[in-house]
């Protein structure tokens, strides 16, 4: 308990694309003590919250309410009464069919302070991502947001079908998929022309977005054929015809592709962000977990004797991270490294080292022997002492080449990669349901761990139609040795190269 008064922020979390959150909402989530959220809010927004935040899921998938509205209202009041800052995240905008107003009224009557942070409503954003502007000067002067949820047998209906049918307004129905036939029948029977264009946009603004277009005459059948379900907005009006010209989101090169990322969770975000930007639906199934070595003494000893070394060589961003973590834990700082020369394999490792204020002297682009030899060719490494902090069980090429050049190399284990099998069942069911188009592998261990998550008898069948994408020849070799057939191999052997190769592959003519 604190004396500070609590407050509830009714926040619009946007329609699904996490990029559509407002800056004000983001700040509010970052500062909240409690985040109360429901089904439609983009789950990644929760990552903005503080580490010790209380997360409360209150559900609302179709009619299946995890908490009733009364209980949600009470929860908000109770948390605020404890002096907590509460972020109440609601899909889209809180005041557009979101019952945000009811929550505000309850807070008001309980004497709890609140603020409203409007959000991007699905009513305009789902059509916009489908290339449908809800207004256009040549088409209509106004737009209506209408509930599609009203019980058709309700006596005192508020639905003014005659007005909807006669006006040239763009009509946007929310919560209306189950009621589509009823909506269409009412519009037509009240005089709306049967050839009026209609679109349904499901999961708008997300990589799972699905759009079905037709006319009042044809849409029910088309939606049935497409098996389109809730949540979707229904747009009725001539502006729908602009989609042919203005569609953009579903034209992204990887739109609709369901791509598995097998990298460790901490490293997946860059690849996920790049692929998502290109329209892919990324499914993170980390197969490796990166952790400090069980025995840290080797690393600590090397750091204690750091003055004995001439070179510090890093082969991965993890090596850099865990080296500096240990150094800082030992109460030292980078000044102790002032006498050293540095080499980093690959530009990303170099960049990570740069984060600590150190510029790498040498940059072999790859692990290949010739690349290492070339990079060191202008350096006298004869008799020099090299410290190589890296993964347990790392490949031997680099120490071998450096030793051949006359260096004295000490390898120390900076981190370990272990199998992450948390998502074993999720992976198997996604493959069984054919919910995966491609799997990306960014190292040999991601491949071997991935395979070990599958039942060996089932694996060939499960992976039959799945595109295998590898970051480079070594990873591809491992994949082949385990019975996989990579169709994509990155060139250059980097994350950016992998992304480009996926785009090239899926953009090739005729690719499903």
Binding site for ligand SAH (CB under 6 A): 15-16, 40, 90-93, 96-98, 121-123, 126, 174-175, 201-205, 230-233
- 503, 254 in Cβ contact below 8 A? yes
Question: Which residues are within 8 A (CB) of 14 and not within 5 positions of it... i.e. 6 or more apart?
Answer: 20, 21, 22, 42, 91, 92, 119, 120, 125, 205
- 300, 326 in Cβ contact below 8 A? yes
Work out how close the CB of 172 gets to ligand SAH at its nearest, in angstroms, rounded to a whole number: 9
Q: Which is nearer to ligand SAH, 129 or 314 (CB)?
A: 129
Sign of CA dihedral 461, 462, 466, 470: negative
Q: Which is nearer to ligand SAH, 120 or 254 (CB)?
A: 120
Work out how close the CB of 128 gets to ligand SAH at its nearest, in angstroms, rounded to a whole number: 11
- The set of catalytic residues is 38, 60, 175
CA atoms within 13 A on the CB side of 82: 12
Strand partners, 150: none
Shortest CA distance to 413 belongs to which of 291, 509, 253?
291
Q: Which residue's Cβ has the minimum distance to ligand SAH?
A: 92
Shortest CA distance to 121 belongs to which of 141, 139, 145, 96?
96
Question: How far is 138 from 412, CA to CA, in rounded Å?
Answer: 70
Work out how close the CB of 56 gets to ligand SAH at its nearest, in angstroms, rounded to a whole number: 19
Work out how close the CB of 231 gets to ligand SAH at its nearest, in angstroms, rounded to a whole number: 4
Which one-letter DSSP state was computed for residue 57? E
Question: How far is 193 from 164, CA to CA, in rounded Å?
Answer: 12
Q: Which is nearer to ligand SAH, 14 or 346 (CB)?
A: 14
Q: Which is nearer to ligand SAH, 169 or 499 (CB)?
A: 169
Work out how close the CB of 139 gets to ligand SAH at its nearest, in angstroms, rounded to a whole number: 21
Work out how close the CB of 336 gets to ligand SAH at its nearest, in angstroms, rounded to a whole number: 52
Q: Which is nearer to ligand SAH, 199 or 439 (CB)?
A: 199
Question: Which residues are within 8 A (CB) of 351 and not within 5 positions of it... i.e. 6 or more apart?
Answer: none
Q: Which is nearer to ligand SAH, 13 or 259 (CB)?
A: 13
**What would the DSSP string read from start to end of 158-173?**
---HHHHHHS-PEEEE
């Amino acid at each position: 308990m604190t004396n500070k008064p609590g407050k509830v922020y009714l926040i619009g979390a946007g329609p699904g694309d996490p990029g559509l959150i407002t800056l004000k909402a983001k700040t509010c989530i970052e500062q909240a003590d409690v985040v109360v959220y429901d089904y439609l809010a983009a789950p990644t927004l929760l990552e903005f919250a503080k580490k010790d935040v209380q997360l409360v899921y209150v559900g609302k998938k179709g009619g299946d309410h995890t908490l009733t509205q009364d209980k949600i209202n009470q929860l908000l009041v109770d948390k605020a009464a404890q002096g907590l800052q509460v972020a109440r995240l609601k899909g889209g905008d809180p005041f557009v069919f979101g019952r945000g107003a009811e929550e505000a009224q309850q807070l008001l009557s309980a004497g709890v302070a609140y603020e409203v942070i409007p959000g991007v409503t699905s009513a305009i954003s789902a059509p916009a991502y489908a290339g449908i502007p809800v207004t256009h000067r040549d088409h209509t002067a106004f737009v209506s947001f209408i509930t599609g949820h009203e019980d058709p047998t309700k006596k005192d209906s508020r639905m003014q079908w005659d007005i909807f049918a006669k006006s040239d307004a763009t009509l946007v129905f929310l919560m209306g998929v189950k009621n589509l036939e009823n909506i269409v029948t009412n519009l037509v029977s009240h005089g709306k022309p049967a050839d009026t264009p209609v679109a349904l946009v499901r999961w708008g603004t997300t990589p799972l977005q699905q759009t079905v277009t037709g006319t009042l005459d044809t849409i029910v059948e088309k939606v049935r054929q497409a098996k389109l379900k809730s949540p979707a907005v229904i747009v009725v009006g001539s502006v729908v015809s602009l989609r042919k010209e203005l569609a953009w989101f579903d034209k992204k090169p990887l739109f609709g592709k369901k791509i598995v990322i097998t990298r460790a969770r901490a490293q997946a975000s860059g690849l996920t962000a790049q692929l998502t930007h290109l329209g892919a639906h990324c499914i993170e199934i980390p197969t490796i977990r990166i952790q400090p070595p069980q025995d840290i003494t080797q690393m600590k000893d090397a750091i204690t004797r750091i003055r004995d070394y001439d070179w510090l060589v890093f082969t991965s961003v993890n090596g850099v991270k865990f080296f500096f973590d240990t150094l800082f834990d030992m109460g030292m700082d980078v000044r102790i490294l002032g006498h050293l020369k540095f080499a980093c394999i690959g530009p990303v490792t170099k960049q990570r080292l740069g984060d600590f204020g150190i510029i790498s002297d040498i940059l072999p682009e790859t692990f290949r022997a010739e690349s290492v030899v070339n990079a060191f060719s202008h350096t006298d490494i004869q008799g020099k002492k090299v410290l190589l902090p890296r993964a347990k069980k790392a490949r031997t090429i680099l120490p071998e080449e450096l030793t051949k050049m006359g260096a004295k190399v000490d390898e120390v284990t900076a981190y370990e990669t272990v199998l992450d099998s948390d998502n074993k069942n999720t992976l198997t069911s996604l493959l069984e349901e054919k919910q995966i188009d491609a799997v990306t592998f960014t190292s040999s261990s991601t491949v071997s761990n991935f395979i070990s998550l599958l039942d060996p008898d089932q694996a060939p069948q499960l992976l039959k139609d799945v595109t295998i994408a590898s970051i480079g020849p070594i990873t591809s070799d491992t994949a082949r040795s385990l019975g996989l057939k990579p169709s994509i191999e990155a060139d250059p052997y980097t994350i950016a190269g992998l992304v480009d190769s996926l785009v090239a592959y899926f953009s090739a003519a005729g690719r499903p």
